[in-house]
Protein backbone atom coordinates (compact mmCIF):
# COMPACT_ATOMS: atom_id res chain seq x y z
CA UNK A 1 0.00 0.00 0.00
CA UNK A 2 1.23 3.58 -0.57
CA UNK A 3 2.73 5.33 2.43
CA UNK A 4 0.30 7.74 4.00
CA UNK A 5 1.38 11.34 4.60
CA UNK A 6 -0.35 12.85 7.62
CA UNK A 7 -1.62 16.45 7.42
CA UNK A 8 0.49 19.05 9.23
CA UNK A 9 -2.18 19.57 11.95
CA UNK A 10 -1.73 16.01 13.25
CA UNK A 11 0.20 15.25 16.42
CA UNK A 12 2.28 12.11 15.85
CA UNK A 13 2.46 9.21 18.29
CA UNK A 14 4.04 5.78 18.69
CA UNK A 15 2.50 2.92 20.69
CA UNK A 16 3.67 -0.60 21.52
CA UNK A 17 1.45 -3.63 21.04
CA UNK A 18 1.29 -4.92 24.62
CA UNK A 19 0.14 -8.26 25.97
CA UNK A 20 -3.37 -7.94 27.30
CA UNK A 21 -2.76 -10.35 30.18
CA UNK A 22 0.29 -8.72 31.79
CA UNK A 23 1.19 -5.62 29.76
CA UNK A 24 4.58 -6.89 28.58
CA UNK A 25 5.79 -6.41 25.04
CA UNK A 26 7.34 -9.82 24.39
CA UNK A 27 5.66 -11.67 21.50
CA UNK A 28 8.05 -14.61 21.04
CA UNK A 29 6.13 -16.85 23.41
CA UNK A 30 4.38 -20.23 23.35
CA UNK A 31 0.76 -19.51 22.51
CA UNK A 32 -0.09 -23.04 21.45
CA UNK A 33 -2.92 -25.10 22.92
CA UNK A 34 -3.12 -28.84 23.49
CA UNK A 35 -5.91 -31.35 23.11
CA UNK A 36 -8.18 -31.51 26.16
CA UNK A 37 -11.51 -33.05 25.08
CA UNK A 38 -12.83 -34.73 21.96
CA UNK A 39 -16.02 -33.16 20.60
CA UNK A 40 -16.65 -35.11 17.38
CA UNK A 41 -14.35 -36.82 14.90
CA UNK A 42 -16.71 -38.89 12.77
CA UNK A 43 -15.71 -42.15 14.40
CA UNK A 44 -16.51 -41.30 18.02
CA UNK A 45 -19.25 -38.97 19.24
CA UNK A 46 -18.47 -37.49 22.63
CA UNK A 47 -20.93 -34.70 21.77
CA UNK A 48 -24.17 -35.24 19.80
CA UNK A 49 -24.21 -34.06 16.19
CA UNK A 50 -27.36 -32.49 14.74
CA UNK A 51 -28.72 -30.23 11.99
CA UNK A 52 -27.97 -30.50 8.29
CA UNK A 53 -25.35 -32.85 6.88
CA UNK A 54 -24.43 -36.51 6.82
CA UNK A 55 -21.50 -38.66 7.91
CA UNK A 56 -19.45 -39.96 4.95
CA UNK A 57 -16.09 -41.53 4.26
CA UNK A 58 -15.30 -38.98 1.54
CA UNK A 59 -15.52 -36.06 3.96
CA UNK A 60 -12.97 -37.35 6.49
CA UNK A 61 -9.82 -35.52 7.44
CA UNK A 62 -8.56 -38.45 9.52
CA UNK A 63 -9.97 -41.75 10.71
CA UNK A 64 -12.89 -43.26 8.80
CA UNK A 65 -15.66 -40.64 8.67
CA UNK A 66 -16.23 -36.90 8.47
CA UNK A 67 -19.19 -34.53 8.18
CA UNK A 68 -20.47 -33.43 4.77
CA UNK A 69 -22.91 -30.54 5.21
CA UNK A 70 -24.35 -31.16 1.74
CA UNK A 71 -25.36 -28.19 -0.41
CA UNK A 72 -26.84 -25.74 2.09
CA UNK A 73 -29.46 -23.05 1.98
CA UNK A 74 -28.64 -19.77 3.71
CA UNK A 75 -29.44 -19.93 7.45
CA UNK A 76 -28.99 -23.73 7.58
CA UNK A 77 -27.58 -24.85 10.94
CA UNK A 78 -25.52 -27.79 12.19
CA UNK A 79 -24.25 -28.32 15.71
CA UNK A 80 -22.48 -30.39 18.35
CA UNK A 81 -24.19 -30.66 21.74
CA UNK A 82 -22.50 -31.65 25.00
CA UNK A 83 -25.86 -32.59 26.54
CA UNK A 84 -25.83 -30.02 29.34
CA UNK A 85 -24.46 -26.56 30.04
CA UNK A 86 -21.14 -25.89 31.75
CA UNK A 87 -18.51 -23.22 32.27
CA UNK A 88 -16.30 -23.82 29.22
CA UNK A 89 -13.82 -21.07 30.11
CA UNK A 90 -12.99 -22.86 33.35
CA UNK A 91 -11.63 -25.87 31.44
CA UNK A 92 -10.70 -24.76 27.91
CA UNK A 93 -9.29 -21.82 25.95
CA UNK A 94 -10.22 -22.69 22.34
CA UNK A 95 -12.28 -24.82 20.01
CA UNK A 96 -10.48 -26.39 17.05
CA UNK A 97 -11.67 -28.20 13.91
CA UNK A 98 -10.59 -29.11 10.40
CA UNK A 99 -12.50 -27.68 7.43
CA UNK A 100 -12.47 -28.32 3.68
CA UNK A 101 -14.78 -25.97 1.71
CA UNK A 102 -16.42 -27.72 -1.24
CA UNK A 103 -18.40 -24.68 -2.42
CA UNK A 104 -18.25 -21.13 -1.10
CA UNK A 105 -20.01 -18.72 -3.51
CA UNK A 106 -19.05 -15.06 -3.59
CA UNK A 107 -20.71 -13.18 -0.74
CA UNK A 108 -21.06 -16.27 1.45
CA UNK A 109 -20.45 -16.24 5.18
CA UNK A 110 -19.83 -19.13 7.55
CA UNK A 111 -20.42 -18.14 11.13
CA UNK A 112 -20.25 -20.00 14.43
CA UNK A 113 -21.06 -19.49 18.07
CA UNK A 114 -22.46 -21.02 21.24
CA UNK A 115 -25.92 -21.69 22.63
CA UNK A 116 -27.47 -23.44 25.59
CA UNK A 117 -27.66 -27.21 25.25
CA UNK A 118 -30.71 -28.10 23.18
CA UNK A 119 -31.12 -24.53 21.88
CA UNK A 120 -30.53 -22.93 18.47
CA UNK A 121 -30.36 -19.38 19.83
CA UNK A 122 -26.82 -18.07 19.64
CA UNK A 123 -25.53 -16.15 22.65
CA UNK A 124 -22.50 -13.92 23.09
CA UNK A 125 -20.49 -12.88 20.04
CA UNK A 126 -20.98 -14.65 16.71
CA UNK A 127 -17.62 -15.29 15.00
CA UNK A 128 -16.96 -15.44 11.26
CA UNK A 129 -14.80 -18.44 10.34
CA UNK A 130 -13.16 -16.36 7.59
CA UNK A 131 -11.55 -14.22 10.31
CA UNK A 132 -9.44 -17.21 11.40
CA UNK A 133 -8.19 -18.61 8.08
CA UNK A 134 -6.27 -16.97 5.21
CA UNK A 135 -8.79 -18.06 2.56
CA UNK A 136 -11.76 -20.29 1.81
CA UNK A 137 -10.19 -22.11 -1.14
CA UNK A 138 -12.22 -25.14 -2.14
CA UNK A 139 -10.76 -28.63 -1.88
CA UNK A 140 -8.15 -27.64 0.73
CA UNK A 141 -8.09 -28.91 4.32
CA UNK A 142 -7.08 -26.34 6.89
CA UNK A 143 -7.24 -26.22 10.64
CA UNK A 144 -9.35 -23.58 12.36
CA UNK A 145 -8.83 -22.60 16.00
CA UNK A 146 -10.96 -19.95 17.69
CA UNK A 147 -10.22 -18.70 21.24
CA UNK A 148 -13.27 -19.02 23.49
CA UNK A 149 -12.80 -15.45 24.70
CA UNK A 150 -13.62 -14.26 21.16
CA UNK A 151 -17.18 -15.53 21.70
CA UNK A 152 -17.69 -13.23 24.73
CA UNK A 153 -19.78 -15.93 26.42
CA UNK A 154 -22.34 -14.56 28.91
CA UNK A 155 -22.42 -17.75 31.00
CA UNK A 156 -22.56 -21.53 30.79
CA UNK A 157 -23.26 -23.08 27.37
CA UNK A 158 -23.39 -26.57 25.92
CA UNK A 159 -23.91 -26.43 22.14
CA UNK A 160 -21.51 -25.30 19.39
CA UNK A 161 -23.45 -24.01 16.37
CA UNK A 162 -22.38 -23.33 12.78
CA UNK A 163 -24.48 -21.53 10.19
CA UNK A 164 -24.32 -20.81 6.46
CA UNK A 165 -25.29 -17.19 5.84
CA UNK A 166 -26.12 -14.74 3.05
CA UNK A 167 -25.81 -17.14 0.08
CA UNK A 168 -27.27 -20.53 -0.82
CA UNK A 169 -25.26 -23.44 -2.25
CA UNK A 170 -22.44 -23.53 0.27
CA UNK A 171 -20.93 -26.93 1.09
CA UNK A 172 -18.24 -28.01 3.57
CA UNK A 173 -16.46 -31.06 4.88
CA UNK A 174 -15.64 -31.01 8.61
CA UNK A 175 -13.77 -33.33 10.94
CA UNK A 176 -11.81 -33.55 14.20
CA UNK A 177 -13.63 -31.08 16.46
CA UNK A 178 -11.74 -30.68 19.76
CA UNK A 179 -11.77 -28.49 22.83
CA UNK A 180 -8.27 -27.24 23.64
CA UNK A 181 -6.53 -26.03 26.76
CA UNK A 182 -3.14 -24.44 27.19
CA UNK A 183 -3.19 -23.98 30.97
CA UNK A 184 -1.08 -20.85 31.53
CA UNK A 185 -0.01 -20.51 27.90
CA UNK A 186 -1.85 -18.58 25.14
CA UNK A 187 -3.59 -17.83 22.98
CA UNK A 188 -2.04 -14.41 23.49
CA UNK A 189 -3.19 -10.99 22.32
CA UNK A 190 -0.95 -7.97 21.80
CA UNK A 191 -3.10 -4.88 21.57
CA UNK A 192 -3.18 -1.11 21.06
CA UNK A 193 -6.45 0.50 22.14
CA UNK A 194 -7.95 3.84 21.24
CA UNK A 195 -8.41 6.50 23.88
CA UNK A 196 -11.32 8.62 25.03
CA UNK A 197 -11.49 12.11 23.59
CA UNK A 198 -9.41 11.44 20.49
CA UNK A 199 -9.29 9.56 17.21
CA UNK A 200 -6.01 7.93 16.21
CA UNK A 201 -5.35 7.80 12.46
CA UNK A 202 -3.05 4.82 11.90
CA UNK A 203 -0.19 5.58 9.52
CA UNK A 204 2.00 2.48 9.97
CA UNK A 205 2.04 -0.91 11.69
CA UNK A 206 5.53 -2.34 12.25
CA UNK A 207 6.47 -5.92 13.13
CA UNK A 208 10.08 -6.77 14.08
CA UNK A 209 11.14 -10.43 14.06
CA UNK A 210 14.47 -11.97 15.07
CA UNK A 211 15.62 -15.59 15.25
CA UNK A 212 18.80 -17.60 15.07
CA UNK A 213 20.32 -17.67 11.60
CA UNK A 214 19.75 -21.40 11.18
CA UNK A 215 16.21 -21.18 12.57
CA UNK A 216 14.92 -19.21 9.61
CA UNK A 217 15.28 -22.30 7.46
CA UNK A 218 13.61 -24.69 9.92
CA UNK A 219 10.93 -24.01 12.51
CA UNK A 220 11.21 -20.27 13.09
CA UNK A 221 9.25 -17.43 11.57
CA UNK A 222 10.65 -17.60 8.05
CA UNK A 223 9.13 -21.04 7.62
CA UNK A 224 5.62 -20.03 8.65
CA UNK A 225 4.01 -23.27 7.51
CA UNK A 226 6.02 -25.05 10.21
CA UNK A 227 6.14 -22.29 12.80
CA UNK A 228 2.61 -20.91 12.44
CA UNK A 229 0.22 -23.76 11.75
CA UNK A 230 -2.74 -21.63 12.84
CA UNK A 231 -1.52 -18.35 11.44
CA UNK A 232 -0.66 -14.97 12.89
CA UNK A 233 -3.78 -12.79 13.09
CA UNK A 234 -3.77 -9.01 12.74
CA UNK A 235 -7.21 -7.49 13.22
CA UNK A 236 -9.22 -4.46 14.28
CA UNK A 237 -12.16 -4.85 16.60
CA UNK A 238 -14.74 -3.06 18.74
CA UNK A 239 -13.82 -3.34 22.41
CA UNK A 240 -17.31 -3.29 23.95
CA UNK A 241 -18.85 -5.98 21.71
CA UNK A 242 -15.72 -7.93 20.64
CA UNK A 243 -16.90 -7.55 17.02
CA UNK A 244 -14.13 -7.97 14.43
CA UNK A 245 -14.10 -5.15 11.85
CA UNK A 246 -11.42 -6.71 9.65
CA UNK A 247 -8.92 -9.53 10.03
CA UNK A 248 -5.77 -10.72 8.22
CA UNK A 249 -4.44 -14.25 8.79
CA UNK A 250 -0.91 -15.14 7.64
CA UNK A 251 0.15 -18.80 7.63
CA UNK A 252 2.65 -19.08 4.77
CA UNK A 253 5.49 -16.98 3.40
CA UNK A 254 3.36 -15.97 0.42
CA UNK A 255 0.52 -14.78 2.66
CA UNK A 256 2.93 -12.98 4.95
CA UNK A 257 4.73 -11.08 2.18
CA UNK A 258 1.38 -10.32 0.55
CA UNK A 259 0.24 -8.50 3.68
CA UNK A 260 3.48 -7.20 5.22
CA UNK A 261 6.19 -5.30 3.35
CA UNK A 262 9.82 -5.83 4.47
CA UNK A 263 11.17 -2.30 4.81
CA UNK A 264 14.65 -2.97 6.23
CA UNK A 265 17.33 -5.38 5.05
CA UNK A 266 18.02 -8.52 7.05
CA UNK A 267 20.76 -7.86 9.59
CA UNK A 268 23.31 -10.40 10.80
CA UNK A 269 24.56 -10.07 14.36
CA UNK A 270 25.62 -12.79 16.81
CA UNK A 271 24.37 -15.47 14.41
CA UNK A 272 20.88 -13.98 14.34
CA UNK A 273 18.73 -12.58 11.59
CA UNK A 274 16.31 -9.69 12.01
CA UNK A 275 13.81 -8.25 9.61
CA UNK A 276 11.31 -5.41 9.89
CA UNK A 277 7.90 -5.59 8.23
CA UNK A 278 5.52 -2.66 7.73
CA UNK A 279 1.95 -2.02 6.71
CA UNK A 280 1.23 1.58 5.67
CA UNK A 281 -2.55 2.07 5.31
CA UNK A 282 -4.14 4.62 3.05
CA UNK A 283 -5.18 7.86 4.70
CA UNK A 284 -8.08 7.48 7.18
CA UNK A 285 -8.50 3.77 6.36
CA UNK A 286 -7.74 2.63 9.95
CA UNK A 287 -9.12 4.79 12.74
CA UNK A 288 -9.03 4.02 16.47
CA UNK A 289 -11.50 5.67 18.84
CA UNK A 290 -12.35 5.01 22.49
CA UNK A 291 -14.15 1.75 21.66
CA UNK A 292 -11.78 0.12 19.16
CA UNK A 293 -8.34 -1.37 18.98
CA UNK A 294 -5.77 -3.18 16.85
CA UNK A 295 -4.26 -6.49 17.92
CA UNK A 296 -1.97 -9.34 16.92
CA UNK A 297 -3.21 -12.76 18.07
CA UNK A 298 -0.61 -15.51 18.63
CA UNK A 299 -1.96 -19.08 18.84
CA UNK A 300 1.20 -21.03 18.00
CA UNK A 301 4.49 -21.84 19.69
CA UNK A 302 6.86 -18.97 18.83
CA UNK A 303 9.51 -19.97 21.37
CA UNK A 304 12.08 -20.51 18.58
CA UNK A 305 12.10 -16.74 18.05
CA UNK A 306 14.53 -14.64 20.07
CA UNK A 307 12.52 -11.46 19.60
CA UNK A 308 9.21 -10.32 18.18
CA UNK A 309 7.87 -6.81 18.65
CA UNK A 310 5.10 -4.75 17.11
CA UNK A 311 4.57 -0.97 17.06
CA UNK A 312 1.88 1.38 15.84
CA UNK A 313 2.48 4.86 14.39
CA UNK A 314 -0.48 7.20 14.38
CA UNK A 315 -1.55 10.80 14.15
CA UNK A 316 -4.09 12.60 16.36
CA UNK A 317 -5.93 15.46 14.71
CA UNK A 318 -6.12 18.60 16.82
CA UNK A 319 -9.63 18.99 18.10
CA UNK A 320 -10.50 15.36 17.24
CA UNK A 321 -13.02 13.56 19.42
Same domain? For 110 and 169 the reply is yes
List pLDDT tens digits, range 166-220. 999 999 999 999 999 976 667 899 999 998 888 899 999 999 888 877 666 655 5
Res. 110: pLDDT tops 90: yes
Average pLDDT, the chain: 87
Opening angle at CA 134, ends 132 and 138, nearest 5: 105
Same domain? For 38 and 120 the reply is yes
Number of domains in the chain: 2
Q: Which of 73-82, 159-168, 267-276, 282-291 has the lowest mean pLDDT?
A: 267-276
**pLDDT band, residue 321 (cuts 50/70/90):** very low
Same domain? For 104 and 214 the reply is no
Domain span at residue 159 reads: 34-181
Same domain? For 166 and 203 the reply is no
Q: What is the pLDDT of residue 228?
A: 77
C-alpha distances (whole Å) from 41 to each of 80, 175, 181 are 11, 5, 18
Q: What is the pLDDT of residue 226?
A: 59
Does the residue 4 lie in any domain? no
Q: Which of 151, 181, 211 is where one domain is finished?
A: 181
Per the rule left: phi > 0, alpha: psi between -120 and 50, beta: everything else, 172 is beta
C-alpha distances (whole Å) from 219 to each of 224, 225, 300 are 8, 9, 12
Same domain? For 24 and 42 the reply is no
Per the rule left: phi > 0, alpha: psi between -120 and 50, beta: everything else, 261 is beta
Does the residue 5 lie in any domain? no
Q: Which of 162, 181, 200 is where one domain is finished?
A: 181
As a whole number of angstroms, the distance between CA 46 and CA 61 comes to 18
Does the residue 2 lie in any domain? no
Same domain? For 190 and 166 the reply is no
Q: Which of 122, 156, 181 is where one domain is finished?
A: 181
As a whole number of angstroms, the distance between CA 35 and CA 311 comes to 33
Same domain? For 27 and 153 the reply is no
Say which DSSP state 150 is in: G
Say which DSSP state 240 is in: T
For position 22, which CATH number holds? 2.60.120
As a whole number of angstroms, the distance between CA 110 and CA 163 comes to 6
Q: What percent of the chain has pLDDT over 90?
A: 58
270 contact partners, CB below 8 Å, separation of at least 6: none
As a whole number of angstroms, the distance between CA 32 and CA 10 comes to 40
Amino acid sequence: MPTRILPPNFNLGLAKFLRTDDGSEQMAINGSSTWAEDVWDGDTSAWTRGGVGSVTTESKHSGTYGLDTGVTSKNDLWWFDYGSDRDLLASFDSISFWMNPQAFPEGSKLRCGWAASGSSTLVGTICQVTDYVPNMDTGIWQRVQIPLTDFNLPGNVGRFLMQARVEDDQQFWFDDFDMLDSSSDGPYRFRVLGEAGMVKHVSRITLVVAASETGWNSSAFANISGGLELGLILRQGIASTQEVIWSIVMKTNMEMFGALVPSDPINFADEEMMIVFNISPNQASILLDSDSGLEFVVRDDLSTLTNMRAYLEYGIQEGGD
